[in-house]
Structure 1
Amino acid sequence: MNHEENVFYKMIYEVSDYAIIMMDANGTIMNWNVGAQRIKGYLSEEVIGSSFKRFYTEKDKIEQKPDQLLATATQEGSARDEGWRVKKDGSLFWANVLITAIHGADGRITGFSKVTRDLTERKNAELAVIEHAKELEKKNKELEQFAYIASHDLQEPLRTITCLNEMLRDTLYEKIDPQTTQMMDYILEATQRMRQLIHGLLDYSRIGKESDLVEVNCAQLIQQIKMDLKILIEDTGTYIEFESLPTIWGYELELRQMFTNLITNGIKFRKPGQSPVVKISASEKNGKWTFSVNDNGIGIPQAFHDKIFVIFQRLHSRETYEGTGIGLAHCHKIAQLHKGDIWVDSEEGKGSTFHFSVDTHKLKSA
């Protein structure tokens, strides 16, 4: 071995971040560097002359994974792999491996180089994220199931209260005084409000449950929503403007609900004596569409920009503005369903612009 080769092998030997070994054509270990000792736990004299298969799990050995990697490197020049490997103490680490075929002067394979990185921390982090996502999905399903069952169970006593209230009113029609009549009206209003909340909760739990991804022509969708809201638009003198809206990949019913909620909010929270103006636009970047719904209404104080998307959050009393406080929570869930987000730009007294995104690339790959 000449001086240059000595220097080269010494450099390899001193590398500590990577396990770098040389093997003969059969996979027998011929040398062992500092990185291999650090990562796998063996001293050089414990492994030189043995097969590299010793680092593989029993499952991989049964499935002949080491032989397959050498065969791939022989045929294609190199082979890459990631998987669990076994240390001297029996513990596992996640290895990123590159095996490269070494050819002699006559072109025949004389051996292989094998470079291994320990990516256990990265793998454990990935597994933790996956486990956390599974746990969240499980809890979300449990919550949705609870909301669905609870909502159904709550409807029956409400119907009973409403029915009894009406029976009392009919039975005691000529005997009850104005104060009692007013209390009965309060009971009826309370049960109706409770029913609205239950329906809102049911709708929230159903979002995305029975929908299919389809191509949605957003311009046509807005035209349909305008027809649905025709009476409200005419009664309030609302002007709705939109231009260059795309056809996107999404859940049509949920997108209809999203646009309807944002448009009706722009109409509901209008300034006194001023006709509502709602403008809808869209822009695209790297497969993600961002829609903006702008209104000239009363606006939202900065302190409430995040709170408005929480279920049952209200900024105004029911006497001032009707509603259940669940519409924007629906919008938030619909945006998440479309692998996007929703946020608002607004100042009190200066109108609001709601933005929501739809990531078509993620939707197609989901």
Structure 2
Amino acid sequence: MDKLRENEDKIIQSNNKLRSVNEELKTYDYAVAHDLKNPISVIRSYISLIEEENPEHFKAHKYLDRIKRSSDDAMQIIWELLDFSSSKQHMNGSELADLDQVTDNCVRMLESEMHVKNVLLNRQYNLAKLRISKFVLQQILSNLISNAIKYCPPERQPIIEISSYQTQNADYIEIKDNGAGIVKSKIAHIFDLHSRFHKQTLIAKGDGIGLFNVKNLVEKNGGNITVTSQENIGTQIKIEFIRHVEIEGHHENSTIS
């Protein structure tokens, strides 16, 4: 009986420690996001000064406009992250995200690398809206699209297909690419913390947290994520969510070239 009480006390202590660590991480995330606002605000201020001092320099204005849009996107992410850190609404399915709108935001954020690599992005949304935070869905899709671009062989035009559909019990998003693919033995590890792709089909330890974060966000929203891949053919990622949606049919293709 004493042993049982001792084990129960250890479990309670462990749970308390986990709660404490989790709160510290939330505070840290909030602090980092808050501190990032200042340097981005400085960047935007200098852009405005350069524009004022060079009103007729068309080419400079073209690039400055892109920098400004990128800084605006970064600032928007920071504001949403601050909101995310201080609110539970992102994890309770109270928001309805429009897949087209979220995808457009991702394309705008990744515009530069999509243009350089002449990415073809195809959409087929038979399910147009998901009951999930727009911010969370944008983090998921932007990470997956970015990876699909990054790990496509340089001699190949990246083709990314995003689709959504619904079955009787669940809602799905699928992202397919024609990239380098992943070694079969490594697939189980691609969502590990501090793992990243290396030399196309290998996975090596590094600083990457994108896919780990994707899996974490999917699972915290009641979903699960699976991967199938063939070397030199491509990768397919399937995300499944419990059914809390509104149905709208939609088909669209878009390209950046």
Aligned to 1:217: 98
Q: 1:221 to 1:315 in 2, by over 3 A?
A: closer
State the alpha-carbon separation in 2 of the partners of residues 305 and 140 from structure 1.
Answer: 29
Structure possessing the higher relative contact order (Cα contacts under 8 Å, 6 or more residues apart): 2
Determine whether 1:282 maps to 2:164.
yes
Which residue identity does 1:349 align to in structure 2? N
How far off is 1:207 after superposition? 7.1
State the alpha-carbon separation in 2 of the partners of residues 350 and 207 from structure 1.
Answer: 39
Aligned to 1:352: 235
What is the aligned residue count? 178
Q: Which structure 2 residues correspond to residues 333-352 of structure 1 after superposition, within 5 A? A: 333-352=216-235
How far off is 1:286 after superposition? 2.7
How far off is 1:224 after superposition? 2.1
State the alpha-carbon separation in 1 of the partners of residues 168 and 211 from structure 2.
Answer: 26
Q: Which structure 2 residues correspond to residues 60-209 of structure 1 after superposition, within 5 A? A: 141-148=19-26
The partner residue of 1:227 within 90, 100, 108 is 108
State the alpha-carbon separation in 1 of the partners of residues 104 and 216 from structure 2.
Answer: 24
Q: 1:150 to 1:338 in 2, by over 3 A?
A: closer
State the alpha-carbon separation in 2 of the partners of residues 208 and 357 from structure 1.
Answer: 26
State the alpha-carbon separation in 2 of the partners of residues 207 and 239 from structure 1.
Answer: 34
Which residue identity does 2:146 align to in structure 1? T
Q: Which structure 2 residues correspond to residues 41-56 of structure 1 after superposition, within 5 A? A: none
What are the superposed Cα offsets for residues 6-59 of structure 1, whole Å, 9 maximum, x if unpaired? xxxxxxxxxxxxxxxxxxxxxxxxxxxxxxxxxxxxxxxxxxxxxxxxxxxxxx
Which residue identity does 1:273 align to in structure 2? E
For structure 2, the residue ranges without an aligned partner over 5 or more in a row are: 1-10, 33-80, 246-257
Aligned to 1:298: 180
How far off is 1:137 after superposition? 7.4
SS at match of 1:232: helix
State the alpha-carbon separation in 1 of the partners of residues 221 and 86 from structure 2.
Answer: 9
Aligned to 1:265: 147
How far off is 1:357 after superposition? 1.4
Which residue identity does 1:272 align to in structure 2? P
Conservation of the 8 A alpha-carbon contact between 1:290 and 1:356 = yes
SS at match of 1:262: helix
SS at match of 1:310: coil
Determine whether 1:332 maps to 2:210.
no
How far off is 1:361 after superposition? 4.4
SS at match of 1:333: helix
Aligned to 1:109: none
For the aligned residue pairs, the C-alpha RMSD in angstroms reads 3.5
How far off is 1:141 after superposition? 3.4
State the alpha-carbon separation in 2 of the partners of residues 288 and 276 from structure 1.
Answer: 29
SS at match of 2:116: helix
SS at match of 2:131: strand
What are the superposed Cα offsets for residues 92-113 of structure 1, whole Å, 9 maximum, x if unpaired? xxxxxxxxxxxxxxxxxxxxxx
For structure 1, the residue ranges without an aligned partner over 5 or more in a row are: 1-131, 155-202
Which residue identity does 2:208 align to in structure 1? G
Larger Rg: 1
TM score, norm. by length of structure 2: 0.59
State the alpha-carbon separation in 1 of the partners of residues 141 and 217 from structure 2.
Answer: 11
Which residue identity does 1:356 align to in structure 2? I
TM score, norm. by length of structure 1: 0.43
